[in-house]
Structure 1
């Protein structure tokens, strides 16, 4: 891990990064950039798709993406970022393993005059020029509102909702929990906070087997991602419990297929990782050119229910949702 540098060298664009969108009168974008990308892990379909989206966007713009996988190791990520600095990349994208442990690397990049952009997970440091992600609290609330609407349409009062959580203490977990809870608060329904299944389907299968025995009166499952929700759905199907409504987050195409087929999967929120990668490369190119960029760029989300499921292409692993989120 690098030591903190007493004299920080900020590049020009980072000082005024609070502007919404890109500045109109700004330097032209350079071509043939080298952009570094330090990814937290590839042990997740979401992060593989995020990488694919970034690579496609870099190639389309004539740039080279130098991609390094930290594999969940903070020390490796710090070493990887130092390697990108040594290579003299034009910008560095970081999906941090830990929001604090990577700060020395962020400062080292800033001292070298290299703009740093975070994606999906943010860093607790002001040296980052921009963060590209989605509002997970809003996503959780969208799903909660869709669940409420379905329960109301079915005439159900006082439903027991079991929540299968992501990772203990994780920012995404807390936001998706809090957003969902805010939607349910004040209704007649109750939420039972289930175990942390680490966003892994197999873990959710095991958890749901125990939860169904402990709470046979469950009416709704809300999982912090669709992969866990689908694991719960498997157990419910095997137990003949098609009366239990299922909801998740992320917009996995498999979840949308269940929804379109008229099953009991009632809601998810879109989280297209390829588009997230695309937007991140666009912001990195602007930052490398010294242009002003937004401090936070929301790549956009939308609730999906049976009413609008046909509106979203789902040929890939995740349903496609590409709203215009960057000012022109």
Structure 2
């Protein structure tokens, strides 16, 4: 055998030996509620950045609001033997059997934004009840402590939606006996359904003063209707979408909660990547959030007896996209969570 041939065989063997590293790149399967809502679109955008940073591949599948389709997607991920499964459950109880099946197959499961009791699943959470209580109090004080309000929610059985709804309703009942919640409408995070609900409410309750939303895109849809009808409503929302900044700065949205779609997307993929590579993390992980309001609104609320730590929209714009620095692979595992 010639020296050239021997060298070529050595090079070929080296290349062949390196090939499995690419083939074995961990694959994460994500079962989203949908991939049309702007929040979920941004989650995926930042999640794809996290995948590159962490050296994993991601497969995003939309359940299109269907529980049956979401379960089928998870079943498919189990059959594919992905490294980890992420799911934003449409119904936190209905998905338990299939999540247990994934755990039995040795696949780490992350329930995003949901506390799901499925055994060994990991839950990426936010302080939703407490945050939405502050949202309700800010909205209640801003409308003068009396009158009619309504609430746009996601879907019944979804942990995030249910917890935020409870925080809002409990706080209104406890602190504002003269405020009546005239409607609570499940929308499935669909802006069209939020638009229809807002139109119905504004027709049925001409004295409606405000609308709370468990997700910003729902408030944005409601405001489009109110503006078209010449109604001046106040809003309290959740997510920290940049589209809300104009409403915050002009005082129509009295408060928002920044989880940040980009931060949430990056964070969840980062958690899944670490678990898929064998890192140890707590089963319950909490993402730090921020209250967002204008300086002028914060002063008004302070004068009315409500104070809370907040950032303005200029600061929120920076923090919402600071995910790589906050949660990147160079940071220790403790960066993935904070105290509740």
Deviations 1:226-252 (A, max 9, x none): 22222222232233333x322222222
Q: CA deviation at 1:86?
A: 3.5
Structure 1, unaligned runs of 5 or more: 1-30
Do residues 327 (structure 1) and 316 (structure 2) align? no
Aligned to 1:110: 103
Task: Name the larger-Rg structure.
Answer: 2
SS at match of 2:29: strand
Match of 1:298 among 265, 286, 292: 286
Match of 2:313 among 289, 309, 318: 309
Do residues 235 (structure 1) and 225 (structure 2) align? yes
Structure 2, unaligned runs of 5 or more: 1-23, 296-311, 328-332, 336-340
Pair 1:146–1:117, CA change in 2 (3 A): same
Conservation of the 8 A alpha-carbon contact between 2:96 and 2:118:
yes
**Cα separation, 2, equivalents of 1:324 and 1:149:** 34
Deviations 1:24-61 (A, max 9, x none): xxxxxxx9322222323223222222222222101111
Pair 1:102–1:161, CA change in 2 (3 A): closer
Conservation of the 8 A alpha-carbon contact between 2:90 and 2:157:
no
**Cα separation, 1, equivalents of 2:252 and 2:320:** 18
Do residues 191 (structure 1) and 180 (structure 2) align? yes
**Cα separation, 2, equivalents of 1:138 and 1:93:** 25
Aligned to 1:133: 125
Pair 1:211–1:77, CA change in 2 (3 A): closer
Match of 1:251 among 235, 240, 246: 240
Tell me the C-alpha RMSD between the 2 structures: 2.9
Aligned to 1:14: none
SS at match of 1:313: helix
Conservation of the 8 A alpha-carbon contact between 1:46 and 1:273:
yes
SS at match of 1:327: helix
Larger RCO (CA under 8 A, 6+ residues apart): 1
Within 5 Å, give how 1:12-27 maps onto structure 2.
none
Conservation of the 8 A alpha-carbon contact between 1:162 and 1:192:
yes
Do residues 180 (structure 1) and 187 (structure 2) align? no
Match of 1:144 among 109, 132, 136: 136
Pair 1:191–1:166, CA change in 2 (3 A): farther
Conservation of the 8 A alpha-carbon contact between 2:26 and 2:83:
yes
Q: CA deviation at 1:149?
A: 4.8
Q: CA deviation at 1:253?
A: 1.5
**Cα separation, 1, equivalents of 2:69 and 2:196:** 32
Q: How many residues align?
A: 288
Aligned to 1:205: 195
Pair 1:212–1:77, CA change in 2 (3 A): closer
Further displaced range: 67-76 or 277-286: 67-76
**Cα separation, 2, equivalents of 1:288 and 1:102:** 21
Pair 1:170–1:92, CA change in 2 (3 A): closer
Instruction: Name the structure where helix makes up a greater proportion of residues.
Output: 2
SS at match of 1:312: helix
Q: CA deviation at 1:122?
A: 4.4
Deviations 1:285-306 (A, max 9, x none): 3323433211111222222111
TM-score (norm 2): 0.73
SS at match of 2:183: strand
Conservation of the 8 A alpha-carbon contact between 1:269 and 1:302:
yes
Q: CA deviation at 1:313?
A: 0.9
Pair 1:223–1:191, CA change in 2 (3 A): farther
Aligned to 1:11: none
Pair 1:178–1:124, CA change in 2 (3 A): same
